[in-house]
Amino acid sequence: MNIQNSVALVTGANRGLGQAYVRALLAAGAKKVYAAARDPSTITLEGVERIALDVTDPTSVAAAAALAKDVTILINNAGISRGSTFLAADSASAARAEFETNFFGPLATSQAFAPVLKANGGGAIVNVLSVLSWLNLTSAATYSASKSAAWSLTNGLRNELRGQGTQVVAVHVGFMDTDMTAKIDGPKLNPADVAKYTLEVLAGGGEEVLADELSRNVKAGLSAQPGVYLGAVGG
């Protein structure tokens, strides 16, 4: 996928990794970047096309796809975490909210933009997942489940869109220095580094981004005996 002169749309572009993707795309020579957020007034970067997009609202998604008909790269970055265990009293409501954004959101945007990408030569979809696509963190159990579902979605989209020449990329990453992890101690990746590496993989035709050592080790441990996912992951 050629980043230079591409037209990209980034969801959740007003902060964190989404904002880093916008910066990286502009630095890599993208012709246009649609920076999408529920409230586009929260997008402070210059040189972008601000666009209102709530990935949980079908009407909003359809309007974005109708407006941005020149998109060649869709980056599904928007995500939320409610920090819920499975057995918490409100776990069902937490899971529903997380699945609406983290699974049904990228499903809706991918459905809406797949014809756009096809019309523009195939293009690419980048889904921001997590190392928790493969593990379940006790303190974010419902979030982990939503990211696991999003991983399966990504694998399925790859199969369904290969025929139209759309490259589908999964981004697996551990803790990044964003608002979502503000209360978590320990080393964290710079979102700018994750964004830059993602674009390198995308440009090289790759389908999977293992952005840190943790993600690489966990993936390698999936086939171990016992599998890494069978161990307790607290927090």
143 is catalytic: yes
Any residues with CB less than 8 A from the CB of 67 and at least 6 apart, and which? 51
Q: Cβ distance 166 to 111 under 8 Å? A: no
Beta strands 73-76; 7-10: pairing state: parallel
Looking at residue 208, its amino acid is E
Burial 105-139 (b: 16+ CB within 10 A, else e): bbbbbbebbbebbeebebbbbbbbbbbbbbbbbee
List Cβ<8 Å contacts ≥24 apart for 210-213.
210/172, 211/171, 211/172, 211/173, 211/174, 212/131, 212/173, 212/174
Residue from 21, 34, 143, 197 carrying the catalytic annotation: 143
Q: Is 195 helix (H, G, I), strand (E, B) or coil?
A: helix
Count CB-CB contacts under 10 A for residue 40.
17
Question: Which H or E run includes 50?
Answer: strand 49-52
Catalytic positions, please? 143
